[in-house]
Amino acid sequence: MRLLIIGTLDGQIGAASQIAMARGAKVRQAEDVPAGLEVLRTQGADLVMIDVKRDIKGLIDSLEAERIIVPVVACGIASDASAAVRAIKAGAKEYIPLPPDAELIAAVIAAVTQESHNIIFKDPRMGQTLKLAEQVANSDASIMITGESGTGKELIARFIHNKSKRSDKRFVAVNCAAIPENLLESELFGHEKGAFTGAVARRIGKFEEAQGGTLLLDEISEMDVRLQSKLLRAIQEKEIDRVGGNQPVKVDVRILATSNRNMEDEVHKGTFREDLYYRLNVVTLALPALRERPLDIAVLADHFVKRYTEANGLPSRPLSAEVRQMLSRHHWRGNVRELENTMHRAVLLASGAEIGSEAIVLSGSPVGTNSDPMVAQAANAAASVMGARGSNMVGKTVAEVERDLIIDTLSHCLGNRTHAANILGISIRTLRNKLKQYNDEGIDVPPPAGGEIERAMI
């Protein structure tokens, strides 16, 4: 990952840089905010650490105005509590006290880069998928990775990059669903100075950042059709046009794309260009759902228990036999992501010598699909609540019922737009437009989850 340090960090810049580099980061330093912005425009970064004495609010405002999406962490002497408060209010994601602590910096870097990219599996079905992925990794062919939400599509993409001849170059991921439509073109292709309001200087996009490496277009089925034509040209001609530019820029990038939708259906519906689909679909990797790889459930559960036990400094507890049966019978609509969340919650709730059924909260299984009586009872309770609420729908317009359903689902998903859209069966773009409408009407909308980017729209 690329780390940009702005300022001197109270003379601790050398120590912070050495810690970051020991964790695999490539470090650049800028004296002040204008110099830091120039680095971000021309070279990009995955994380910014800024001296708390610098103009943090000015940096955050400039990033928003120029549509640069990068997390910012403030650093300052440990005793200055008021500076920490000001930094967070100005928009910094975290505050790191100085002198720097190696474990704290490592934790921040891990949170930003999501360093855990190991693929844990035991089931032969997943083994076959990985074998195919490794077989095609060393080519330059575009690969379409499909599968339900939460199956690990980005992990497979990183696996392919690491096994390819481009592994010494950058892997750049862009979530097409999480970035509003009006920002995505600039995010991908960059822009020239004056291309739009706030474009105060030239900025390179993700294509140029990934030069010589791999570009992952995550949830590409959510990309607007008009932008798809520009992407098609970039793939065919191996060159891009920055927004507002008139000179093409040559690029050498291997394209990987993911989607949780049936892409052929999207082509038939006219929401995805057929010619772009065939350009991307040289090879298809279809990831099996977690319920289709049952031998992996226990292995992954143990892995997540160990991870979150250590992360939270809690005593080690094994899963009880009853819990293992519950996990094996569950439908796992959210796949590995749902299992991970379930295990994280269980680690926090467990109190005995082992993790028992009282610490397991399962979601989403209709009555009858899971034979565990606790799950059936929970599902029946949910059905009763929905029945009670149904009587309150009388007298409401269809729009009001729809609004309540969307807001309640979003609250259930803790603000995660992508998960809510999947549950509701609508596109992330449709959900975003609905939420913008509700905001304009003065209705409270749950804020985005921490890992999602929602700018200017919600």
Contacts of residue 308, defined as CB under 8 A and 6 or more positions apart, other chains included, come to 314, 343, 344, 347, 348
- Please indicate whether the domains covering 2-113 and 124-288 agree at the CATH topology level: yes
**Structure-block tokens of residue 317:** 């507890």
Q: How many CB atoms lie within 10 A of CB 346?
A: 24
Q: What is the pLDDT of residues 386-424, one digit of tens each?
A: 444 444 555 667 777 788 888 888 877 777 787 777 777
Q: Tens place of pLDDT for every residue, the chain, 458 residues? A: 789 999 988 788 888 888 888 777 889 999 999 999 999 988 888 899 999 999 999 999 998 888 787 889 999 887 677 888 888 888 888 888 888 788 777 777 766 655 456 788 999 999 999 999 999 999 999 999 999 999 999 999 999 999 999 998 989 999 998 888 878 999 999 999 888 887 888 889 999 999 999 999 999 999 999 999 999 999 999 999 999 998 999 999 999 999 999 999 999 999 999 999 999 999 999 999 999 999 999 999 999 999 888 877 889 999 999 999 999 999 998 899 899 889 988 998 898 899 999 999 887 543 333 334 433 333 343 333 344 444 455 566 777 778 888 888 887 777 778 777 777 778 777 888 889 888 888 888 888 754 444 433 33
CATH entry, 2-113, from 3.20.20.120, 3.30.1540.10, 3.40.50.2300, 3.60.15.10: 3.40.50.2300
CATH entry, 124-288, from 3.40.47.10, 1.10.10.10, 3.40.640.10, 3.40.50.300: 3.40.50.300
Report pLDDT for 385: 37
How many helices (H) and strands (E) would you count in the chain? 19, 12
Name the pTM for this structure. 0.66
> Which single residue is written with the structure tokens 């606790």?
374
Q: What residue spans of 32-149 are helical by DSSP H?
A: 33-42, 56-65, 81-90, 102-113, 124-137
Report pLDDT for 89: 87
Interatomic CA distance for residues 106 and 240, integer angstroms: 36
What number of CA atoms fall less than 13 Å from residue 314's CA on the CB side? 22
Strands 249-250 and 239-240: antiparallel
Per the CB < 8 A criterion, the answer to whether 171 and 161 are in contact is yes
Report pLDDT for 211: 95
Interatomic CA distance for residues 98 and 48, integer angstroms: 16
Domain coordinates of the chain in residue numbers? 2-113, 124-288, 291-383
Fold category of 291-383 in CATH: Helicase, Ruva Protein; domain 3 (1.10.8)
Contacts of residue 239, defined as CB under 8 A and 6 or more positions apart, other chains included, come to 233, 248, 249, 250, 251
